[in-house]
Amino acid sequence: MFLINCPFCGEREQSEFKAGGEAHIVRPKQPTELSDDEWAEYLFMRKNIKGVQFERWNHVHGCRKWFNMVRDTSNDQIKAVYKMGEKPPVE
Amino acid sequence: MTNNLRFKTSRFIDETYRISFKFNNKTYFGFKGDTLASALLANGIHLVGRSFKYHRPRGIMTSGSEEPNAIIQLNDNSSRTEPNVRATEVEIYEGLVASSQNCWPSVNFDVGGINNLLSPILPAGFYYKTFMWPASFWEKYEYFIRKSAGLGKSPKVADPDIYEHHYMHCDVLVIGGGISGIMAAKMAAKNGFKTLLVEEKSYLGGSSIYDNSEFSKINNQITSSWLEKEINEISKLENLEIKTRTSVAAYHGYNFLLARENLTDHLPISQRENKVRQRLLKIRAKKVITATGSIERPLIFDNNDRPGIMLSSAIKKYIDLYGVACGENNILFTNNDTAYETAMSLIQRGIKINAIIDNREQIDSKISYEVEKNNIKIYKGYSVVDTYGYRRINKISIMKLSKDGQTVIGDKTKLNCDCLGLSGGWTPAVHLFTQSGGKLKFREEDQVFIPNVYPSDQISIGSCNGDFSLDEIIKNTLSSIKKFLDIDNSEYKTIETISGLNQSKRNIWLLPSDKSIGKTKSFVDYQNDATAKDIKLALREGFRSIEHVKRYTTTGMGTDQGKLGNMHALGIISETAGTKMGEHGTTTFRPPYTPLTFGTIVGRNVGEFFDIFRRTPIHDWHVANNAEFENVGQWKRAWYYPKDNENMHQAVQRESKAARDSAGILDASTLGKIDIQGTDASEFLNRVYTNAWSKLAVGKCRYGLMLNEDGMVYDDGVTTRLGENHYIMTTTTGGAANVLGKLEDYLQTEWPELDVYLSSVTDHYATISVCGPNSKKIVSKVIPDLDLSDEKFPHMSFKNAKINNIKCRVMRISFTGEHSYEINIQANFGKSVWEKCMEAGKDFNITPYGTETMHLLRAEKGFIIVGQDTDATLTPIDLQMDWIVSKKKYDFIGKRSLYRSDTIREDRKQLVGLLTENPEEVLEEGAQIVADIKKSPIEMLGHVTSSYYSPNLKKSIALGVVKGGKNMLGQKLIIPMENKNINVTVADPVFLDKEGERLNAKL
């Protein structure tokens, strides 16, 4: 079970959090102008990388804030956490 | 023969404290300090069970948690009965009752033993190969296979014991209280680390605590004496917590570990009342030191499983720690020096050793010379090729090994014995290390896997790290702990060690036989009866991956998870396949290390605490008024209120009729309520609901439908505009938490520019819904100051009011199609207001109704229930709710998905009403709907989602989803049931009062 360093609360147990899938997928500003394929790309397509992945997490049983995490899915090492809207750290 | 098996030498056994226990219905005696295994051995009993597949007689093999054979049923025929308990781990107590498993009628004569004779036709994969066709027969086979298989019996009544969970935090966790663990714990604690030491046994010291040999000494003291002083010292350290009888079950990432602490299993049952039996420790450690030791390997040869065949280290432990001789005429069979330690322990007590069979040609160690001096015959370069004796070993035959160790040569010699000790070297216990994600490396010299790459802040020390000599263990423990904890002071000055052992070993995974492999039974996995022959067969049949061979042969899949034999399985695979050991890796070690009871896993979360449940503020009234309850999410909701022995149907019919004829009252407090505030609140609602919100006037209510981004209906409910920038949203009972989560997600991640704040207020308000033609009269009595005229308080509007000075919100909204009011008042006044309504409604036959009637009433009106009539595959268009989807709004969640190629298909499942040909016939919810029953296979068009008998319409009504249903109005369809076909007609989903006359009637 991970120890997650919530950017708002500090280190907490994983059981307080909920994973929210891939990060940095921006909802299109004008969905009505997208083709079916473009909309499907936004709606359905996710990477699911083995290795370093950018993810959204929610401190659902804590401050309820969403934030981003950089995690290596091959060994579960958490490389960084940062607030929504902040730029991802460069490797 | 049972007279002189106990030796008065051990300080671990209290011979003044005699304990009686029963095994297989016979009473025996042991002493305080005994395990069930040591007490049985002291009584001359080796045969304790039958093997799983062949029902071969099996004896006690080991002295610890790695035991494959001696698994017994504890506390037979009582609520505390427990199967598959390792006799080697059970500390005996007065009144203990245990019995053998997997045998009938008795362990001495077992009918299933026939399987042993049939074994030539029961190879690996027998069941897969034999019972795979015809497939339809499997159900018949399965009954007999399951009956003849299986180990113990599970308890039939509730567990009377108490279990609990406990969180622990420490700087340093030391797993294993052997010599290296004790040294590590002392170093950590003395250097200011908050330290926790856990040990699975009841005592500390591991195997060194009974090492009284002259051949291994520390600082010129006998090892056990030196260690005892160390234990004394650490038991006084303030910074150190020691937990014995505590076995680490799982080692997860980020140094999170689960351990089971055994608190009462060693006590007589009469002393266990009201005590916690086992505790699951959830440990989060900054640093972990693994000192789990190593497990001795058996040797793999023909018939290596008879009772009386044991690990050599176990024989040593039984005599040194428990003072019990396992045999009176012993033979040791070894490929390394540790068996000579066992020999010395036996020699010291004058117990006969007939011979030592040693694989090695050359033996050169002080301890072996000492054994030879005692006139023990050592057969060098020999191997055991067979054993004899059915219920107890009585003879072995040995042959000379060829130079390359691949064959046996020369004449066969037979030797008598009643106990054969095996020593095949040692396997580091790396289970926990690999569970944590650690990577192993293979050490060629002595053929062991040892820790290589650590995934978290941890280290392995002692023999689990591949250090086997006393000298190595002490030296390496000191240096690696110093480095690991980054400390200067090791707490130890110089430590001098003497060891009489040499580390040489002749490793042969599968010992050669004079018979062909097909004629041998060389057990690799004792518990699952997997032999070397089975493994070779699996390879011949094309299995290559170790994981596949494991599953095909069931090697390592017993309750012991192959702690003894897994290495040999790997060795035999690599030898047979001609590959290198390291290349195969190992099979995966999964938690728990030793089996956990269900009690430990669930802790206190049993009975009413299995899952939390939520009660409304009016709950007690429902209970007092005979309500039956329904679980909705975690809520207990009043389901119906039976009167005078009514059944559910009768109660619901009465309640439904009363609500439409006069007045009904419903506790709607469970509906989710979200308080929404902020200058952008209207814009926010525009984006999350399908309909428009900007023009909703203050004081008005509106029904909203919420979609997922994929266009499917997600939730619904009425939202009220309380003020310019203030709304209260209601959600479905089950969806409340998820809706709030979803809204927060969009607010925080997609639209952070919006000035909106969300707050869950579900628990803050009690919600009472009063409906029916007399609802207005009743509410006016409860809130006389409120003007209920249609002009001032029309349908879909809201008013602030007061009941006895307590502020409340009243909405005129309806989920039943009747004129109705919803009173929201702070939760603690909920019950009294409810009672007020009941009092006011007395003259109008006000009838409390539950969720079932609510469902019926709304179905009459064709109102959907999200989650019952929808299942995340239906759009609002599919629900024939086009009216609620705004065409004007530029965007809302899910809008773009409503015209994807898939969502605009005409033949999607769509919500329709269904009327049965026979109006008395009520459909089953979930039943399939078809058009043509002659075509094969029958095409399923959809299913029934809601179905009731309507007392108001005096006929059966149903809702369902049907492919292309929108255009099928009036069409005849069929509901095929088990014993009949029911004819139905597609109808409008609104069955009652489509014009809304009841809602707007002048009252």
CA–CA distance, B178 with B193 (Å, rounded to integer): 19
CA–CA distance, B59 with B67 (Å, rounded to integer): 10
CA–CA distance, B931 with B972 (Å, rounded to integer): 8
Contacts of A12 in chain B (CB under 8 A): none
Do B264 and B400 touch, CB atoms closer than 8 A?
no
Contacts of A39 in chain B (CB under 8 A): 896-897, 900
Candidates A1, A40, A65; nearest CB to B252: A1
Q: Are strands B806-812 and B940-950 parallel, antiparallel or unpaired?
A: unpaired
Contacts of A6 in chain B (CB under 8 A): none
pLDDT value for A79: 95
> What is the tens place of the pLDDT at every residue in B454-497?
999 999 999 999 999 999 999 999 999 999 999 998 888 888 99
For the residues B652-675, what does the mean pLDDT come to?
97
Helix intervals (H) in B799-928: 830-841, 851-860
pLDDT for B738 beyond 90: yes
Contact state of A32 with B896 under an 8 Å Cβ cutoff: yes
Contacts of A3 in chain B (CB under 8 A): 254, 256, 284
3-state secondary structure B283-348: EEEEEEEECCCEEECCCECCCCCCCCEEEHHHHHHHHHCCCECCCCEEEEEECCCHHHHHHHHHHH
Contacts of B710 in chain A (CB under 8 A): 43
In which region does residue B716 sit, left (phi positive, over 0), alpha (psi from -120 to 50) or beta (all else)? beta
Candidates B253, B752, B900; nearest CB to A1: B253
Q: Please give the radius of gyration of chain B, using alpha carbons only, rounded to the nearest integer.
A: 38
pLDDT value for B1: 41
In which region does residue B198 sit, left (phi positive, over 0), alpha (psi from -120 to 50) or beta (all else)? beta
pLDDT value for B128: 64
CA-wise closest residue to B298 among B484, B61, B79: B61
User: Locate tokens 């949203």: which residue?
Assistant: B729
CA-wise closest residue to B866 among B751, B669, B733, B955: B733
How close does chain B come to A58, measured CA to CA in Å?
8
The number of CA neighbours under 13 Å toward the Cβ of B564 is 33
CA–CA distance, B453 with B458 (Å, rounded to integer): 10
Instruction: Provide the pLDDT confidence category of residue B501 given band limits of 50, 70 and 90.
Output: confident
Contacts of B900 in chain A (CB under 8 A): 36, 39-40
pLDDT for B811 beyond 60: yes
Candidates A36, A43, A66; nearest CB to B748: A66
**Cα B170 from chain centroid (whole Å):** 25
CA–CA distance, B224 with B205 (Å, rounded to integer): 8
Nearest-by-CA chain A residue for B167: A13
**Between B118 and B917, whose confidence is greater?**
B917
Taking each helix axis from N to C end, the angle separating B566-577 and B532-540, rounded to the nearest 10 degrees, works out to: 40
How close does chain A come to B463, measured CA to CA in Å?
26
Candidates B284, B741, B748; nearest CB to A84: B748
- Least confident segment among B110-119, B155-164, B506-515, B795-804: B110-119
Contacts of B284 in chain A (CB under 8 A): 3, 13
Contacts of B897 in chain A (CB under 8 A): 39, 43
* Single-letter residue type at B984: V
Candidates B437, B748, B900; nearest CB to A65: B748
For the residues B403-426, what does the mean pLDDT come to?
96
Do B373 and B366 touch, CB atoms closer than 8 A?
no
Q: DSSP of B725-744, one letter per residue?
A: TEEEEEE-TTTHHHHHHHHH
Contact state of A43 with B897 under an 8 Å Cβ cutoff: yes
Contact state of A1 with B254 under an 8 Å Cβ cutoff: yes
Domains within chain B, CATH numbers bracketed: 1-156 (3.10.20.440), 162-294+428-499 (3.50.50.60), 508-592 (1.10.10.1100), 667-857 (3.30.1360.120), 898-999 (2.40.30.110)
How close does chain A come to B890, measured CA to CA in Å?
8
How close does chain B come to A84, measured CA to CA in Å?
6
Question: Could you give the 3-state DSSP secondary structure of residue B423?
Answer: strand
CA–CA distance, B37 with A51 (Å, rounded to integer): 49
Angle at B632 between CA B910 and CA B639, to 5 degrees: 95
Instruction: Provide the pLDDT confidence category of residue B137 given band limits of 50, 70 and 90.
Output: low
Distances (CA, A) of B949 to B512, B656, B916: 78, 10, 11
Do B396 and B419 touch, CB atoms closer than 8 A?
no
Q: How many residues does chain A have?
A: 91
Question: Could you give the 3-state DSSP secondary structure of residue B603?
Answer: coil
Burial B537-566 (b: 16+ CB within 10 A, else e): bbbeeebeebeebbbbbbbbbbbbbbbbbb
Compute φ and ψ for B570, nearest 5 degrees: -60, -45
For the residues B414-421, what does the mean pLDDT come to?
98
Do B914 and B960 touch, CB atoms closer than 8 A?
yes
Contacts of A13 in chain B (CB under 8 A): 284
- What is the share, in percent, of chain B residues with pLDDT greater than 90? 83
Angle at B422 between CA B417 and CA B428, to 5 degrees: 165
For the residues B862-889, what does the mean pLDDT come to?
95
Contacts of A85 in chain B (CB under 8 A): 752
Number of neighbours of residue B970 by Cβ within 10 angstroms? 8
Number of neighbours of residue A12 by Cβ within 10 angstroms? 17
Instruction: Provide the pLDDT confidence category of residue B140 given band limits of 50, 70 and 90.
Output: low
Contacts of B254 in chain A (CB under 8 A): 1-3, 76
What number of helices (H) and strands (E) belong to chain A? 1, 6
Candidates B256, B437, B709; nearest CB to A1: B256
Order of strands, edge to edge, in the sheet holding B71-74?
B26-32, B14-23, B96-99, B71-74, B82-86
Burial degree of B295 (CB within 10 A; 0-12, 13-18, 19+): buried
Do B296 and B426 touch, CB atoms closer than 8 A?
yes
B706 forms beta bridges with B689, B715
Average pLDDT across chain B, whole number: 93
Contact state of A39 with B900 under an 8 Å Cβ cutoff: yes
How close does chain B come to A91, measured CA to CA in Å?
20
pLDDT value for B634: 92
Instruction: Provide the pLDDT confidence category of residue B172 given band limits of 50, 70 and 90.
Output: very high
Contact state of A34 with B896 under an 8 Å Cβ cutoff: yes
Contacts of B455 in chain A (CB under 8 A): 75
Residue partners of B445: CB distance under 8 A and separation at least 6: none
**Between B440 and B1001, whose confidence is greater?**
B440
CA–CA distance, B950 with B853 (Å, rounded to integer): 10
How close does chain A come to B824, measured CA to CA in Å?
27
3-state secondary structure B177-233: CCHHHHHHHHHHHHCCCCEEEECCCCCCCHHHHHCCCCCEEECCEEHHHHHHHHHHH
Q: Are strands B847-848 and B664-667 parallel, antiparallel or unpaired?
A: parallel
Q: Please give the structure tokens belonging to residue B114.
A: 């026939």
Q: Which portions of chain A are predicted below pLDDT 50?
A: none
- Least confident segment among B36-45, B252-261, B882-891: B882-891
Contact state of B741 with A58 under an 8 Å Cβ cutoff: yes
CA–CA distance, B868 with B861 (Å, rounded to integer): 15
With an 8 Å Cβ cutoff, the interface of chain B facing chain A consists of: 252-254, 256, 284, 437, 455, 709-710, 741, 744-745, 748-750, 752, 890-891, 895-897, 900-901
Angle at B232 between CA B227 and CA B235, to 5 degrees: 120
Q: Are strands B635-640 and B395-401 parallel, antiparallel or unpaired?
A: unpaired
Contact state of A36 with B741 under an 8 Å Cβ cutoff: no
> What is the tens place of the pLDDT at every residue in B358-394?
999 999 999 999 999 999 999 999 999 999 999 999 9
pLDDT value for B154: 85
Highest mean pLDDT range out of B111-125, B162-176, B206-220, B565-579?
B162-176
H or E element that contains B397: strand B395-401
pLDDT for B837 beyond 50: yes
Number of neighbours of residue B181 by Cβ within 10 angstroms? 27
pLDDT for B778 beyond 70: yes
Contacts of B252 in chain A (CB under 8 A): 1
Q: How many residues does chain B have?
A: 1003
pLDDT value for B910: 97
Residue partners of B644: CB distance under 8 A and separation at least 6: none
CA–CA distance, B87 with B66 (Å, rounded to integer): 11
Contact state of A75 with B455 under an 8 Å Cβ cutoff: yes
Helix intervals (H) in B842-921: 851-860
Number of A/B CB contacts below 8 angstroms equals 53
Nearest-by-CA chain B residue for A35: B900
CA–CA distance, B538 with B574 (Å, rounded to integer): 13
pLDDT value for B29: 96
- Residue of B167, B251, B254 to mutate when probing chain A, most A C-beta within 10 A: B254
Report ipTM (2 d.p.).
0.97
> What is the tens place of the pLDDT at every residue in B918-962?
999 999 999 999 999 998 899 999 999 999 999 999 999 999 999
Contact state of B437 with A3 under an 8 Å Cβ cutoff: no
> What is the tens place of the pLDDT at every residue in B56-98?
999 999 999 999 999 999 998 789 999 999 999 999 999 999 9
Cα pseudo-dihedral B232, B234, B240, B244, rounded to 10: -50
Contact state of A40 with B900 under an 8 Å Cβ cutoff: yes
pLDDT for B549 beyond 60: yes
Contact state of B455 with A30 under an 8 Å Cβ cutoff: no
Given CA atoms A36, A38, A42, A46 in this order, what sign does their dihedral have? positive
pLDDT value for B917: 96
In which region does residue B967 sit, left (phi positive, over 0), alpha (psi from -120 to 50) or beta (all else)? alpha
Contacts of B895 in chain A (CB under 8 A): 31-32
Question: Could you give the 3-state DSSP secondary structure of residue B477?
Answer: helix
How close does chain B come to A78, measured CA to CA in Å?
10
Residue partners of B788: CB distance under 8 A and separation at least 6: B776, B779, B780, B821
Compute φ and ψ for B459, nearest 5 degrees: -150, 150
pLDDT value for B1002: 79
Contacts of B896 in chain A (CB under 8 A): 31-32, 34, 39
What does CATH list as the number for A3-83?
3.30.2270.10
pLDDT value for B380: 97
pLDDT for B236 beyond 90: yes
Contact state of B897 with A3 under an 8 Å Cβ cutoff: no
With an 8 Å Cβ cutoff, the interface of chain A facing chain B consists of: 1-3, 13, 18, 20, 26-27, 30-32, 34, 36, 39-40, 43, 56, 58, 60, 64-66, 75-76, 84-85
Instruction: Provide the pLDDT confidence category of residue B559 given band limits of 50, 70 and 90.
Output: confident
